[in-house]
Chains A and B, each alone.
Chain A
Amino acid sequence: MSDAAKPSMAAAAAAGAAKTAGRSGRSTELPEHLKVYKGVWVFIEHDRGQVHSVSWELMGEARKLADKLGVDVCGVLLGGPSDKLEDYAREAYVYGADHCYIMRDPVLQGYRNEPFTKGLTDLVNKYQPEILLLGATTMGRDLAGSVATTLGTGLTADCTELNIDGRALAATRPTFGGSLLCTIMTLAYRPQMATMRPRTAAMPARDESRSGDIITMELGMVETDIVTKLLAFIPDATSNNINLAYADIIVTAGKGLKNADNCKLVWDLARVLGAEVGATRAVTQAGWLEAERQVGQTGKTVRPKLYIAAGVSGAIQHRVGMEASDVIVAINTDPNAPIFDFAHHGIVGNAMQVLPVLTAAFRSHLDKRIRKVA
Chain B
Amino acid sequence: MHIVVCIKQVPDSAQIRVHPVTNTIMRQGVPAIVNPYDLFALEEALRLKDKFGGRVTMLCMGPPQAEDALRKCISFGATDAILVTDRAFAGADTLATSYALTAAIRKIHAEQAVDLVFTGKQTIDGDTAQVGPGIAKRLGWNLLTYVSKINEVDLDGGTLTVERRAEGGVQRLQTKLPSLITMLEGTNEMRFATMDDMLRAARVPVRKWSKDDAGIEDITKIGLKGSPTIVSKVFAPKARSQRAEMQEVGDGIDVNDVCLNLLQKIFTTHPTLEQETVERLSA
Contacts and interface: CB of A to CB of B under 8 A. Distances in A.
Interface in B227-258: 227-237, 239-240, 243-250, 255-256, 258
A268 B21 CA distance: 42
B109 interface: no
Nearest to B264: A365
Nearest to A374: B282
Contacts of A150: 137
A12 interface: yes
A198 to B, nearest CB: 9
B194 interface: no
Nearest to A330: B244
B91 A157 contact: no
Interface stretch (B51-59, B74-82, B207-215, B267-275): B267-275
Interface stretch (B42-50, B110-118, B170-178, B198-206): B170-178
Given A21-B230, A149-B133, A327-B273, A230 B281 contact: no
Query: Chain A CB within 10 Å — which of B126, B143, B282 has the most?
Result: B126
Given A298-B127, A344-B244, A369-B274, A4 B98 contact: no
Contact of B231 (A12, A354, A373): A12
Contact of A149 (B137, B255, B259): B137
B195 interface: no
Contacts of A249: 273, 277
B230 A180 contact: no
Contacts of A329: 262, 266
A330 B167 CA distance: 30
Contacts of B165: 138
B229 A235 contact: no
Contacts of B237: 174, 178, 180-181, 316, 319-320
B66 to A, nearest CB: 11
Residue among B240, B247, B262, B273 with the most chain A CB within 10 A?
B262
Contacts of A259: none
Interface residues of A, number: 122
Nearest to A358: B259
B168 interface: yes
Nearest to B276: A248
- Most chain-A CB neighbours within 10 Å: which of B93, B186, B270? B93
Contacts of B176: 227
A273 to B, nearest CB: 6
A2 B170 contact: no
Given A327-B270, A329-B262, A344-B269, A1 B14 contact: no
Interface string B217-230: 00000001101111
A3 B101 CA distance: 13
Interface in A115-156: 117, 137-139, 141-142, 144-146, 148-150, 152-156
Give the residue among B11, B92, B167, B255 with the most A Cβ atoms within 10 A: B167
Contacts of B263: 358, 361-362, 365
B230 A187 contact: yes
Contact of A13 (B24, B125, B126): B24
Interface stretch (A77-85, A99-107, A345-353): A345-353
Contact of B233 (A17, A156, A343): A17
A361 B243 contact: no
B250 A3 contact: no
Interface in A326-374: 326-330, 335, 339-350, 353-354, 357-358, 360-362, 365-366, 369-370, 373-374
7 contacts: A2-B227, A7-B90, A12-B232, A25-B225, A145-B133, A178-B237, A185-B232
Interface of A: 1-10, 12-13, 16-17, 20-21, 24-26, 28, 47-48, 52, 110-114, 117, 137-139, 141-142, 144-146, 148-150, 152-158, 165, 170, 174-189, 227-236, 241, 248-249, 273-274, 281, 291, 297-298, 305-306, 316-317, 319-320, 323, 326-330, 335, 339-350, 353-354, 357-358, 360-362, 365-366, 369-370, 373-374
